[in-house]
């Protein structure tokens, strides 16, 4: 089954993993009026990935001060045991890793039953075709463009081809799932990623290491608007 790919304005989701953890309230509040569409929150357990970030209480605290929806990325083993708690902490969307879920379809249904957007993340070594049988059951696919676990890594160039392959797979399946790219996103690869099929761009270090994160997000938004204006 093949349909004409829909065209949406790409979304920007700054990753709070790169924010100042000592000032998360201030970091969250200053993004309220920014070009950020979502706030990306990475939860790591030190088992699925070799790092620990933050857990449910911190997610709750972020939610109290956030104006944008929270896009929660679970880089953890056995994510099915934490879905309800993550939803209750304020998640609008919950993304689990393909590699962490032997019963992925069941986990996606659990997330949807909780009223959240159901996402699947693919590590760099995992090909897009593994999602062929659940393409119509997923709301978002997060393509990891770095190895998960640490911020500040360099973008893996092969990601562009993988996004294009994933876009073709989803289109052929009649799926309206969004394609999200997470890791090493910056002003140089932003537009090529969108042209390849990305719908959501997660940027961490590039945004929060800038002198003015709000201005940096505005610049990225201007680039995206320019791409879509030129195409019209």
For residue 11, which of 145, 160, 166, 140 has the smallest C-alpha distance?
Answer: 140
pLDDT-derived band of residue 123, with 50, 70 and 90 as boundaries?
Answer: very high
State pLDDT tens for residues 155-191.
999 999 999 999 999 999 999 999 999 999 999 999 9
In whole angstroms, what is the distance from residue 200 CA to residue 178 CA? 7
- pLDDT, position 7: 59
CB-based contact 43:51 (threshold 8 Å): no
Q: How confident is the model at residue 149 (pLDDT cuts 50, 70, 90)?
A: confident
How confident is the model over 94-119, as a mean pLDDT? 98
Residue 227, pLDDT above cutoff 90: no
Mean pLDDT across 138-166: 91
Query: How does residue 152 score in pLDDT terms, banded at 50, 70 and 90?
Result: low
**What's the whole-number mean pLDDT along residues 99-118?**
98
pLDDT recorded at residue 229: 65
Out of 42, 45, 71, 139, the active site residue is 42
What mean pLDDT is predicted for residues 211-231?
88
User: Is 139 among the catalytic positions?
Assistant: no
Residue range 75-95, pLDDT digits in tens? 999 999 999 999 999 999 999
Q: Which of 37, 71, 139, 182 is catalytic?
A: 182
Q: Would the pTM count as exceeding 0.85?
A: yes
Is the per-residue pLDDT at 231 higher than 80?
no
Q: Is the pLDDT of residue 11 over 90?
A: yes
Q: Report the percent of the chain where pLDDT is more than 70.
A: 94
Give me the chain's average pLDDT, please: 93
**pLDDT tens string 20-57:** 999 999 999 999 999 999 999 999 999 999 999 999 99
The predicted pLDDT at position 1 comes to 39
């Amino acid at each position: 089954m093949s349909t004409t790919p829909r065209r949406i304005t790409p979304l920007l989701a700054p990753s709070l993993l790169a924010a100042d953890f000592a000032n998360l309230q201030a970091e969250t509040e200053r993004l309220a009026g920014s070009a950020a569409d979502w706030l990306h929150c990475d939860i790591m357990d030190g088992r699925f990935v070799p790092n620990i970030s933050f857990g449910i209480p911190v997610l709750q605290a972020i939610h109290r001060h956030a104006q944008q929806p929270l896009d929660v990325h679970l880089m953890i083993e056995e994510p099915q045991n934490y879905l309800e708690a993550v939803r209750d902490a304020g998640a609008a969307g919950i993304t689990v890793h393909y590699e962490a879920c032997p019963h992925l379809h069941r986990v996606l249904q659990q997330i949807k039953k909780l009223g959240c957007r159901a996402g699947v993340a693919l590590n760099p070594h995992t090909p897009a075709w593994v999602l062929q049988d659940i393409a119509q059951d997923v709301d978002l696919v997060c393509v990891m463009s770095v190895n998960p676990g640490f911020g500040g890594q360099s973008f893996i160039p092969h990601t562009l081809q993988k996004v294009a392959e994933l876009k073709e797979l989803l289109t052929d399946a009649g799926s309206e799932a969004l394609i999200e790219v997470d890791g090493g996103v910056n002003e140089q690869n932003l537009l090529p990623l969108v042209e390849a099929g990305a719908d959501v761009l997660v940027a961490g270090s590039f945004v929060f290491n800038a002198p003015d994160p709000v201005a940096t997000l505005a610049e990225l938004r201007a680039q995206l608007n320019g791409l879509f204006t030129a195409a019209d």
